[in-house]
Amino acid sequence: MDYKIKSRIWIESEQGVFLGEGRVNLLKAIAETGSLSKAARLLKMSYKKAWNLLDSMNKGAGEPLVITSTGGKGGGGASLTPYGKKVIEVFDQINQKCWEFLDNELKQISLQSSIK
């Protein structure tokens, strides 16, 4: 029998969740679209929810992850800071290492069941 192991990682501080898969997806969508509202639409979430998540991340980080500019005639925008890009990269690395570890641990269970 083939087993699959699933997990979700998130990073918390005393203030609550700082970063998780959904928040990282929002950051990636902002990088892709250059806009918080477009990122929210892409992820099928309300602008208010996206703004609240972004505000929470920016406040919880040591420095801003995203810089926004107000809309208007020329339109607004949002872009990741170098720190925001690094946070995504590190989170993805942590996730990958976690999955690899869990997959290796799961192999131990499969090996044990085949020894019977």
Q: Which runs of E-coded beta strand occur in 21-90?
A: 66-69, 77-80
Decide if 75 is inside a domain: yes
Decide if 5 is inside a domain: no
The parent domain of residue 28 ranges over 10-115
Decide if 56 is inside a domain: yes
Decide if 4 is inside a domain: no
Decide if 62 is inside a domain: yes
Distance between CA atoms of 80 and 65, rounded to whole angstroms?
A: 6
**What pLDDT is recorded for position 52?**
95
**What pLDDT is recorded for position 69?**
82
Decide if 76 is inside a domain: yes
Kindly give the confidence (pLDDT) of every residue in the chain, 116 residues in length, as a single tens digit, with 9 standing for 90 and above: 677 788 899 999 888 889 999 999 999 999 999 999 999 999 999 999 999 999 999 998 989 999 988 766 666 789 999 999 999 999 999 999 999 999 888 888 766 555 55
Count of domains in the chain? Answer: 1
Q: What is the CATH number of the domain that holds 41?
A: 1.10.10.10
Decide if 66 is inside a domain: yes
**What pLDDT is recorded for position 111?**
62
Decide if 3 is inside a domain: no
